[in-house]
Structure 1
């Protein structure tokens, strides 16, 4: 007993007396922390400090407050935005002939270019003070998504000036003079912008660009001034072939100390008129057979004045931070908008095709193999739209959540690829024959574009999501890193000591709570709602706590090696991402009033996310190098094993059936898909056939019964089917007339485009 009391007293003294604790615990831990601390370059440090945290920080903390989460209001459109959507946007959509744009002209027609300029589609993010539309991220996303459902080429043309580019950078960082001159010209279409960041060696990694600028004396407008001599070789630059003003990212150096005592100033962004001496543009790439303008720009010994730096001389060397903070538009709005449009089109059109296309007297959407693909499309599209809305909520609040936008870009573009693959599986020959009525082909071909731009997906998953999220979203790690870097050792120790004690309490609580939740299956966790989703809230809270626990020990054990263990960090990033996506699904379900027609979609999505989280943890534990620690963490978190199951077959079947039912539920899930009431239209021909068949479902039912009785041959369609049904007196003369129209639409819808001999050769591009 005396020994036990002595141990307790010693522990109390050790932790309660600050001086003793700092000497015996905090100082050695601080030294260890500095050794295992991941080495950060200047660009990495700026990336860590850029942007905001939001709901991702709650999820990473292990203590998500679901009640507060549900209080967050979903974004809405202003009257001005809604009017633009109802009028200018609808007019534009009606003008688009994507087959002609891509396969024949390889460019947008002049009337569309003029319409985009005059109606300010390129100025959605520019302030009204400068003649722009000042639309919210929600309106921006909706507009780009609707256009993308019609044409990827037109959508990309619209989205680029409204995401990372001169307009965005000028709005946030430009000098008053730069804003007053350039923004009105960009707003009214006088100037078309592009932004030159990527190159062969660097891609979207600004830190690796080889393009340089040297501060020196030179001549500008007949006078000698201090400026920058630039050399660059950029490619993959959207709008470069038609741009009139070029945003340029380069590394800036001041070897002669003309503006300060630092030679390597860092990444810098400048704005240069394309007609400026030495600037070369015009050559085009052909990005996966799309028609949007994408090409190269080069410059050799191009001299510009210092005041062409975006933000002026004060922003020399601050380009990396500017770019990181502005990437949220591309990662959080534009590319997710393309992916969501893919989901809406795939769900609406595949549901229609699954009903219109008949086999053995039944819609192919009634066969379980097809239902598996259709269920994936519908369930994944529900996730896509949910994630789009939640991320837009953060952006509309004025947040710039760098980790969330990275998750959004990566997972949504990958899910877009999934739904397009499944849609192609169902459509088969209908999907692969390009022509005016093919609504899948160009989107399918274009999918890798979204995968590779704004940071390639492989690197986003393996390096950014967890690598940045673990530090930004953790309640203590970033603060501890900042304390460890404090040059005042005593101040650093005091600050680190305070944080360390909080961190230890945080980790200890996570150990015991994770074990308790694991033993009880999280059944004692709270839920903000009742009903079938309550159980999902409980499990997501448990997985949030497990992520916090495992991340702490992974960082402690591996230190700086963790960012090199890309497969391990990617799996933890997957856990955070699926927690976020599952949250988005739950939020949407509540925001839309818990629609009964959404239950199958919600169950599919949440089962999918929990199963993915379980698989990510399974892979992490199996490959973690410290086997003892891996086993201990697994026993604490999953004492009864990882038991999350993938979506049930019933979910796939229910979703497939709902996709083939017309009505409000289908319209809510696919409202971004544009179709025209025209039997020759790209999507309209399938939609009209689908509607006609449902309208005459009773006639088709009678005919199927007659076929089974042997009164009508089973291999008839179109006019022959109508004549046989009339002859067998299965339908009346009036019904025959209606059925003839429906059959004409149906046969046309399942058909594919064909071209007369020589027609395709005349449009040969090469």
Structure 2
């Protein structure tokens, strides 16, 4: 009995030390103390000897030279073989950007106070004025139906307005003539534009994300900045950036476009330059661009720049009017009207100083691109997806209250409520992640892993929102025309899912493939150690990283198991007490992710890159942890509004369910079955316990958004709400208000009918009888009439001539392609 008590106490001691992640010295001290107390306490002789050996081992492992001789140096060569092999382009991707909250989530013990202490994103007075002035005006100017159906471009006066008001230079500092806006302001502008016009949103966001301006700001020579940035800010130059080609999309190592360093003639004199051959496609703004940013692989066979022949991926700026540059005809991405098309050139000579950053930046292109991708992935695409989702949430919540079937608003049907809850919940999660990520960029972060998380998950959740919205709208949603508020957003949704790295690739290869190494506190250090040329330095660095890694694995194994048993109880929490359990449960899954990731990397090694489904599921856990963090942060930033709690809880319950789904899928499909069993025991010791958001919670969410109010306004804040009475969204808002007023009157009529004051019949006849018998007043009767008229207006769809006006099409006065002409 005494021996059993000793064993229980020792296991509890070891678990406590591991759970707290104490140092090796603390482990050695605890082992010595256990040995001493076992000797004095009369423990069994075999236990005393076992504790003596453990104490000796613990003390020895704290002596660096002894530890290295016995263990670390022997493992050094093995680690060189099993660690994932990293190509040069992968290495540049890993070294790009910064690690922010993603590192905390990978630690197994995220510091929630650190997250909540980051400032709430705020707009300056100048940024607010821009949103309320030029952005509002631009939205009012755009008729997306005519843009996409008749003109296939923004009208000339809209292009000119965009240039004159500085939309193309939002990220360019004021010293160069730009607006100098924050990332959060950039995000807010794109969100509002996307709620009105996908064409306008894309036209504005591309020059302000991955493109010449972003690259010049970070890497351009002072001469390049001084010349180009003011011209870009004023709209005198229309930029595009050409990376993707027919033979190479996401695989930069296979980039076939090339340049040869050589001498040639430029402006009447011989200069050192590059002879370029390329073919690109899918280039947004390409057909109207005056300035082409080009990615290519640079070779120096004559060694005019140095000893290397294959210099690497390089970026250059080329005026599109330069001899040999060919701008092709336009692509048509799913009825979108933004300018997009191919370009190419063969043996086009450019001077070397057209390389972005000049001679010092040749061969640095991939690193430059990876570091600048954060703008497109972190800001533009999440903002455009969120803008569309907010539009869908606003329109669908109104339509579900206005549209009546079986004498009941369709928003009261449980099937429709299921879709409405997803629409509202997903939109809340998307907006929270959008804002938190933009705030991180403004704090100086360049979150490469987080940017991939946002790009993938916000465009995917946006797809779910727009699909649900179309289901609720039914025939109203699928009939295109000026009255349709959702059709073009539905058509454009796959575009965001495809660009900046297709979502399949982003999920299966980038999020965890990059995040596992980039965010892990030790793996990158171990890889760097195995590549160190100085053997003594390499082994010393490896030893330090290895033993930190061992302690990290042990701690997270225990934390994952213990917190799995307690459902997260025992983990730290922060923020609103009402949400404390969510902080704890997310911490639990953070530990589970850290342990599972280490087991996957340890056993699969370099083959993990080829196990894309395993990698994807681990990435899903990391992603959902980030989204959950954003939801908690938003609730705090909003001032903890109690009426928003159903939305917050719905988002978090959905996130936790998805985490368990990903972990269960990982365990079920893990190639090593013994290790799969271990993963199950350590990460899901009680099995799967998390359910998706309940029907009751969904109903609470729907009740918050089916009527005008603070919750609905916060959920859809920042979108364009037109005031003109003929606008479909304005009609919906008026119909919603009228419907709610009419519902009170309809309840009176139903009550009178039940009392036998008049028989059954059409609602219009009953209303007339109710007025005659003073059941309702004239004002109430007029309110019913108004609601019926507005409902009729809202549910109507557009119709066209039998030939859809094709006979007149050639005579249509489509605005000419003047973007380049007016530059």
TM-score (norm 2): 0.90
**Cα deviations across residues 139-184 of structure 1 (Å, max 9, x unaligned)?**
0010011011001011101100000111111111111111111111
Choose 501-510 or 116-125, whichever is displaced more. Answer: 501-510
Verify: 1:227 aligned to 2:273, yes or no: yes
- The CA distance in 1 between the partners of 2:578 and 2:380, in whole Å, is 34
Q: Match for residue 188 of structure 1?
A: 234
- The CA distance in 2 between the partners of 1:32 and 1:337, in whole Å, is 45
Structure 2 counterpart of 1:761, from 788, 792, 806: 806
Verify: 1:16 aligned to 2:90, yes or no: no
Shift of the 260–757 alpha-carbon distance from structure 1 to 2, 3 Å rule, reads same
**Secondary structure at 1:269 match in 2:** strand
Q: Match for residue 780 of structure 2?
A: 735
Matches within 5 A, 1:319-334: 319-334=365-380
- How far apart are 1:737 and its partner, in Å? 3.2
Matches within 5 A, 1:399-548: 399-529=445-575, 531-548=577-594
Matches within 5 A, 1:739-750: 739-750=784-795
- How far apart are 1:735 and its partner, in Å? 3.2
- The CA distance in 2 between the partners of 1:465 and 1:5, in whole Å, is 43
Choose 742-751 or 424-433, whichever is displaced more. Answer: 742-751
Shift of the 511–711 alpha-carbon distance from structure 1 to 2, 3 Å rule, reads same
Shift of the 208–721 alpha-carbon distance from structure 1 to 2, 3 Å rule, reads farther
- How far apart are 1:695 and its partner, in Å? 3.2
Say whether the 8 Å CA contact 2:215–2:356 is kept in structure 1.
Answer: yes
- The CA distance in 2 between the partners of 1:530 and 1:113, in whole Å, is 47
- The CA distance in 2 between the partners of 1:202 and 1:282, in whole Å, is 18
Structure 1 counterpart of 2:663, from 613, 617, 623: 617
Q: Match for residue 66 of structure 1?
A: 112
Q: Match for residue 278 of structure 1?
A: 324
Structure 2 counterpart of 1:336, from 377, 382, 403: 382
- How far apart are 1:653 and its partner, in Å? 1.1
Shift of the 105–715 alpha-carbon distance from structure 1 to 2, 3 Å rule, reads farther
Structure 2 counterpart of 1:209, from 255, 261, 273: 255
**Secondary structure at 1:423 match in 2:** helix
Shift of the 595–6 alpha-carbon distance from structure 1 to 2, 3 Å rule, reads closer
Shift of the 56–699 alpha-carbon distance from structure 1 to 2, 3 Å rule, reads same
Q: Match for residue 41 of structure 2?
A: none
Q: Match for residue 103 of structure 1?
A: 149
Verify: 1:390 aligned to 2:432, yes or no: no
- The CA distance in 1 between the partners of 2:766 and 2:263, in whole Å, is 83
- How far apart are 1:677 and its partner, in Å? 2.3
**Secondary structure at 2:329 match in 1:** strand
- The CA distance in 2 between the partners of 1:501 and 1:266, in whole Å, is 36
Give ranges in structure 1 of 5+ residues lacking alignment: none
- The CA distance in 2 between the partners of 1:714 and 1:515, in whole Å, is 65
- The CA distance in 2 between the partners of 1:476 and 1:729, in whole Å, is 79
Structure 2 counterpart of 1:157, from 197, 203, 206: 203
- How far apart are 1:361 and its partner, in Å? 1.5
Give ranges in structure 2 of 5+ residues lacking alignment: 1-44, 813-823
- How far apart are 1:539 and its partner, in Å? 0.8
Q: Match for residue 248 of structure 1?
A: 294
Shift of the 34–707 alpha-carbon distance from structure 1 to 2, 3 Å rule, reads farther
**Cα deviations across residues 530-579 of structure 1 (Å, max 9, x unaligned)?**
53311111111111111111111111111101111110111010001001
- The CA distance in 2 between the partners of 1:8 and 1:451, in whole Å, is 54
Shift of the 313–721 alpha-carbon distance from structure 1 to 2, 3 Å rule, reads farther
Choose 155-164 or 627-636, whichever is displaced more. Answer: 627-636
Say whether the 8 Å CA contact 2:195–2:719 is kept in structure 1.
Answer: yes
Choose 482-491 or 673-682, whichever is displaced more. Answer: 673-682
- How far apart are 1:300 and its partner, in Å? 1.1
- The CA distance in 2 between the partners of 1:563 and 1:93, in whole Å, is 45
Q: Match for residue 303 of structure 2?
A: 257
Q: Match for residue 19 of structure 2?
A: none
- RMSD of Structure 2 on Structure 1 (CA): 1.8
- How far apart are 1:763 and its partner, in Å? 6.4
- How far apart are 1:208 and its partner, in Å? 2.6
Matches within 5 A, 1:165-180: 165-180=211-226
Shift of the 134–20 alpha-carbon distance from structure 1 to 2, 3 Å rule, reads same
**Secondary structure at 1:631 match in 2:** helix
Shift of the 763–243 alpha-carbon distance from structure 1 to 2, 3 Å rule, reads farther
**Cα deviations across residues 426-479 of structure 1 (Å, max 9, x unaligned)?**
000010011111110000001110001001100111111111111111111101
Say whether the 8 Å CA contact 1:13–1:20 is kept in structure 2.
Answer: no
- How far apart are 1:33 and its partner, in Å? 0.8
TM-score (norm 1): 0.97
- The CA distance in 2 between the partners of 1:712 and 1:702, in whole Å, is 14
Say whether the 8 Å CA contact 1:437–1:682 is kept in structure 2.
Answer: yes
Say whether the 8 Å CA contact 1:242–1:282 is kept in structure 2.
Answer: no
Structure 1 counterpart of 2:692, from 646, 655, 659: 646
Shift of the 670–724 alpha-carbon distance from structure 1 to 2, 3 Å rule, reads farther
Q: Match for residue 119 of structure 1?
A: 165
